[in-house]
Amino acid sequence: MALKRLTLAKAVLVLAVVAACASSPGPEREAETPSAASAVRVPGGIVVDFKDGTTKAQFDSWESEWGVDLEFNSVEGPETGVALAMDVEEPDAVLERIRQHPAVESAEPLLLYSAPPEELLAGAGVAPGGEAPWDEAGKDGFTPNDPEFHRQWNLRMIHMPRAWQENRGKGVVVAVLDTGIAYEDHDDFRQVPDLAGVKFKRGYDFVNDDEHANDDHGHGTHVAGTIAQATNNREGVAGVAFEATLMPVKVLNHFGAGTSADIAEAIRFAADEGAHVINMSLGGGGYSKVMADAVEYARKKGVTVVAAAGNTGRGQVQFPAAYPGAVAVGAVGPDGQRAPYSSYGKHLDVAAPGGDKRRGDAGGILQNTIDPRNPARSVYAAFQGTSMAAPHVAAVAAMLYSAGASTPDEVEKALYAGAKRVGGQDWSEQYGHGLLDAQASLEAIGGGGGQWPSLWWALALLALVLLTLRRRERPGYFNILFAPSFLLPLLLASVGVFFMRSLFGGATGLAGDVVDVAYLPIPDWQRIIFGRGRLANPLFYSSLIPLVLSFVAIKVKGLRPAMGGLSLGFAGFLAYAAWAKAPALAYLPFAFLAMPWLVGNAFICLVIARAMLRQEKS
């Protein structure tokens, strides 16, 4: 009963806030960093994230001291620890008292997020037929028999016909956190025809607190269609990863609005229920620690979180895309240029087709969805927005997992390595690492884990080192390859202790931090130390660490095998990075210097490794 009352209270307050926002101009946004000042608060609402294991009986006993009535946000509350209170008088004072309790991880005002309403304007009921504005026909590849595929310029732009010859996302689960999906016939809801035959995994409706995450708005079904619309079925249009499995998770209501509490719980739910990728085509709210922690939780569970950058047209990526660990996606139109509405800035990761309808519906992203006035009616609609761009990236991420990637870092490396550079820049605030290219990203993953090629390069360079040594200087092949003092540093520098993520991926606190560091190769520890920035630190992507440590090994003979392995691991990592053209390096005055920097430092590491191995037997 308490949960039902809470659900009704959330719906009423969200509706009131939506009405208030619609009748008044939005707040000005900061140009550089998203901040809480841009948030829309739900009046009198607060959200508390308790430490795992905290029971309702426990926080009920603390409520009189805090002066608040808390309830778990949903049936997932006992697992997630997320609780909610509505109609709170003086919420800031109450939050100050709650934050002092040792069982509380975070406590903050309840924030409102939404699917941008302008994305749906003039988008419903597009008539079949017409010409595609994108000229690259993609004739050499798999061409589906969907009758409206010729209008999907967006799929040809990212080279899907060729990518489909390699992978279609089979076996990967993509959670769509949105307004729901028209995925089933239930009560007054009907599955849209072009989702017939698509695989679905059990989801949840966090708005109405039930297991039927049906769409009563239209936005979520359109987004889901881009990810995995039924394809080659002689019906409508195609989807990117059409053999993937969709998980419908409803976090936005009929008006396209939802709360930070529901979204945070939904992220955790999706991660716990087996999603490999989470797509969030929503935004507009300010910073929420509860949501940021949820994104971090999902990433530590091995989930790639993809989010729309926002539709402000300004130099500020909105939350949740701006959270560390999320892939922030901007939008381009049919001409491959940044769409005028697309947000951009220092938090942007990659750009993808989002549409530009200034010349009409032909410039939009076409998918099958529902008529929001009648959820039982199916329509084909051309929408535009970063909400439409994000699912392209989420779907390609699914294909990368299906192709062998095992971690979010591997997926991101392949996404960025395959992205088509715009204006010759490895990274820019307008396009991130460039324009999404599904075919090139699959090639970058190499059919296996994104970190494994670094090890193969290191072993190839080891063979080169051994061949260049004279016989009397050459250590025994098997002794070197299987000596722990050599092998462990080689693995740490080239691929990291990769199995730690699968064994201890759920660890939190200090243990979780140790796992985060150890599973990454040493050059990528810069992501932990400096944060997951858009540019790699060139001091870590260099020979500096092996060079400094080699001076110690010159004096201490017993360290030389370890230094040989470490140097070879760095050489393999840097050589593969140069070959894949993956990283964009910070601080270099010109982008083109990244390649000679990587190649030169890989060579220095190789020289160090040779010296360490040779000196061991001299």
DSSP H stretches of helix in 519-580: 526-530, 544-555, 560-580
One-letter amino acid identity for 60? D
Q: How far is CA 301 from the centre of its chain?
A: 13
Say whether 276 is catalytic.
no
In sequence order, the 6+-apart residues with CB closer than 8 A to the CB of 436 are 158, 350, 351, 352, 353, 392, 393, 396, 415, 418, 419, 420
CA distance 381 to 371: 9
Active site residue 178: yes
Q: 326 near 337, Cβ under 8 Å?
A: no
Q: Contact, 454 vs 494, CB < 8 A?
A: yes
**β 82-85/71-72 pair status:** antiparallel
Which H or E element spans position 260? helix 260-272
Q: Any catalytic annotation for residue 335?
A: no
Taking the C-alpha atoms of residue 317 and residue 366, their distance in angstroms, rounded to an integer, is 25
219, amino acid identity: H
**423 burial type by CB count under 10 A (0-12 exposed, 13-18 middle, 19+ buried):** exposed
Helices 386-402 & 219-228, crossing angle to 10 degrees? 40
Residue 5 sits at φ, ψ, to 5 deg, of: -60, -40
In 3-state terms, what secondary structure has residue 328?
strand
Instruction: Tally the C-alpha atoms within 13 A of residue 454's C-alpha that lie toward its C-beta.
Output: 32
Instruction: Report the distance separating Cα 369 and Cα 393, nearest Å.
Output: 20
* Count of beta carbons in the 10 Å neighbourhood of residue 425: 16
Backbone φ and ψ of 304, nearest 5°: -85, 120
Distance CA 273, CA 606 (A): 44
Indicate which residue of 178, 215, 426, 516 is catalytic. 178
Catalytic residue from among 114, 260, 378, 387: 387
Pick from 265, 274, 259: nearest CA to 76: 265
Tokens at residue 95, please? 């939050």
Active-site option among 217, 219, 276, 433? 219
Angle at 273 between CA 267 and CA 276, to 5 degrees: 70
Contact 534, 349 (CB under 8 A): yes
Active-site positions?
A: 178, 219, 387
